[in-house]
Amino acid sequence: MNRMSHVLGQMSLEGKVAIVTGAGCGLGEAMALALAQAGADLVVVSRSSLEMEETAQNIERIGRKALAFRAEITDPGEVEEFVRQTVELFGKINILVNSVGIAITKPFEKMTLEEWHTVMETNLTSLFLCCKAVGPHMIAQKQGKIINLSAIEGKRGRADWVAYGASKAGVIQFTKALAVEWAKYNIQVNAIGLGAFRSEPAAGTLDEEKLDLIRREKIPMGREGRPEELGPLAVYLASSASDFVTGQTLFIDGGELVRL
């Protein structure tokens, strides 16, 4: 085996089973398709039946198995059910990608307690529930890869983004602590810190003028990220190439945090 084939072999997900939440569209879909292209079979979870069915069909066109589940990711019973069915059908879970996210942006004094809870439950409690359900299976097999989605707002202050920023900072710390706790089981827990992506939930709150301002003045590369640029990073974190990487948040932001 030459060096190149060895490197590519480390990135292969052949024989692996992955669950991707929020996989119906946008970045979740992009990561799910990338994992399939690397060889994984997928269970895609979304609130939208139509979107997740389309994602599953696209995965099957790649030549991988795909199952679609409609679930409310903040409901413990529904999370436990799609995890149970995944194990029943595939016999294992190697990879969990937590990509569900929501942003409610407004001045803090105008934010309601209900809105605060919505952001925290969607962005942070969902991680707790999914990891709680998947964890026993990964622990039993002594192997697992967990990928959480954070954002640059979890590392810096930004007006009108208090709830979102707090939730994404929580994701970073959740990732660190769980990585330490589950290292003894050979489970790697990492996060991806998103910058400005056109498909990222928070980006939908920005009008085109504000996006142009970000591109010109805040992002050294002068543009927002594209969903397909996220896939290779997800594959790396899901593969054996990252077996000695855990507790990390890898930022993909076109250099925006570097400029701070």
Would you state the structure tokens that stand for residue 50, as one six-digit string? Answer: 């139509």
CA 227 to chain CA mean position, Å: 12
Q: What angle do CA 49, 131, 199 make, to 5 degrees?
A: 45
Contact 94, 187 (CB under 8 A): no
Q: Which of 69, 82, 161, 164 is catalytic?
A: 164
How far is the C-alpha of 214 from the C-alpha of 210, rounded, in Å? 6
Of 170, 151, 115, the C-alpha closest to 252 is: 151
DSSP string spanning 155-190?
Answer: TS--TT-HHHHHHHHHHHHHHHHHHHHHGGGTEEEE
Strand stretches in 126-185, DSSP E? 144-151
Any catalytic annotation for residue 164? yes
Which residues lie below 8 Å from residue 99, measured CB to CB, with a gap of 6+?
20, 21, 22, 23, 27, 28, 31, 149
Q: Active-site positions? A: 164
